[in-house]
Amino acid sequence: GRVLHGGVWQRVNPKFT
């Protein structure tokens, strides 16, 4: 999964997304 953090896309664990 991906999350926008501080204007930067970061890859995260799907479970966390």
CB-based contacts of 4, cutoff 8 Å, min separation 6: 10
Q: Which residue is listed with tokens 């970061």? A: 10
Q: What is the tens place of the pLDDT at every residue in 1-17?
A: 888 889 999 998 887 66
Return the pLDDT at 16. Answer: 66
Return the pLDDT at 9. Answer: 93
Return the pLDDT at 13. Answer: 81
Return the pLDDT at 12. Answer: 87
Return the pLDDT at 15. Answer: 78
Return the pLDDT at 7. Answer: 93
Stated pTM of the model = 0.12
Helix (H, G, I), strand (E, B) or coil at 16: coil
